[in-house]
Amino acid sequence: MLVSIEWLKDHHSDPDVVILDTRPKTMFLYGHVPKSQSFTLNQVIEYDQYGANLVLDEKKISDLFGSFGIDNSKTVVLVGDSMDPSSARIAWTFLYFGHEKIFLLDANIMSLQKNGFELTKKLFVPKQTSFIPKTKSKIRINSDQLKENLNNFVILDARTPQEFMGGHLPNSKLIPFTDGIAYGDKLFQNKDYLQNLFSKNQVPKESKIICYCMHGHRASSLFLQLMIAGYENIKLYDGSFVDWYGRRLPLE
């Protein structure tokens, strides 16, 4: 899921590599990696009647990805910041629609500048193409599926301890997404660290795991951390707490 600054230097000019900057648009306009395009979180979500941030449908995703020059053959690299889970939610969206060639740059903008990347304000215009979604429903769960199987999953809450104490899904376990974040030039802690983190929190490798938070963004970061640690059976509840609470489903 991760690529280094050195990898980006070597592949920056590759026509089959699409670079997406997931930071807020104003930050992108102030300065960004040459050839990158602004691609924000709001572009890959839609709101339900409760205000939950749900994944778009296949038609909208096909049009969106195609407009950024992304077809099924392209390698997509996301540039973001460690404390902003937007890039993780966008990465999960690519995975959900079957695009396996999705990577996060394991660095932030500041470290790119320190390593020789000169930022630009020039906008890159891609050639529109066609993207064909191949939805992987096994990595997503909705409230109906979850409420009927609460005892069959290890349910992980990626929010803060304060939010968790204010109410959480039944049988859920608190692991704030920030526990696996690297505070420096990297996005995430390394594989050994993350394996130890989840082992310490008694999350068995063979378990069926659900990740949720308030809107599904921080939970996406936790989802990727679990992937890096070698976990395979993971689902995102993209509706998360807002959807669950809006439906007046039980809390603890």
Q: What is the pLDDT of residues 43-100, one digit of tens each?
A: 999 999 999 999 999 999 999 999 999 999 999 999 998 889 999 999 999 999 999 9
| Span 101-124, average pLDDT | 91
Tokens representing residue 70 in the block: 């992304």
Q: Which range, of 14-23, 109-118, 121-130, 206-215, averages the lowest pLDDT? A: 109-118
| Span 28-35, average pLDDT | 95
pLDDT at 31 over 80: yes
Confidence of residue 183 (pLDDT cuts 50, 70, 90): confident
Confidence of residue 114 (pLDDT cuts 50, 70, 90): confident
| Span 4-11, average pLDDT | 94
pLDDT at 222 over 90: yes
Q: What is the pLDDT of residue 83?
A: 87
**Core vs surface per residue 97-110: b (16+ CB within 10 A) or e:** bebeebbbbbbbbe
| Span 7-20, average pLDDT | 96
pLDDT at 208 over 80: yes
Which residues are within 8 A (CB) of 176 and not within 5 positions of it... i.e. 6 or more apart?
A: 158, 159, 160, 161, 218
The answer, as to whether pTM is greater than 0.85, is: yes
Q: What is the pLDDT of residue 81?
A: 87
Chain-wide mean pLDDT for the chain? 96
What the chain holds in terms of domains, given with CATH numbers, is 2-136 (3.40.250.10), 138-246 (3.40.250.10)
pLDDT at 146 over 90: yes
pLDDT at 184 over 80: no
DSSP 66-132: HHTT--TT-EEEEE--TT-THHHHHHHHHHHTT---EEEESS-HHHHHHTTPPPB-PPP-PPP----
Distance CA 177, CA 174 (A): 9
Confidence of residue 248 (pLDDT cuts 50, 70, 90): very high
Confidence of residue 113 (pLDDT cuts 50, 70, 90): confident
The share of the chain scoring above pLDDT 70, in percent, equals 100
pLDDT at 185 over 90: no
Query: What phi and psi, each to the nearest 5 degrees, are found at residue 234?
Result: -125, 135
Q: What is the pLDDT of residue 40?
A: 97
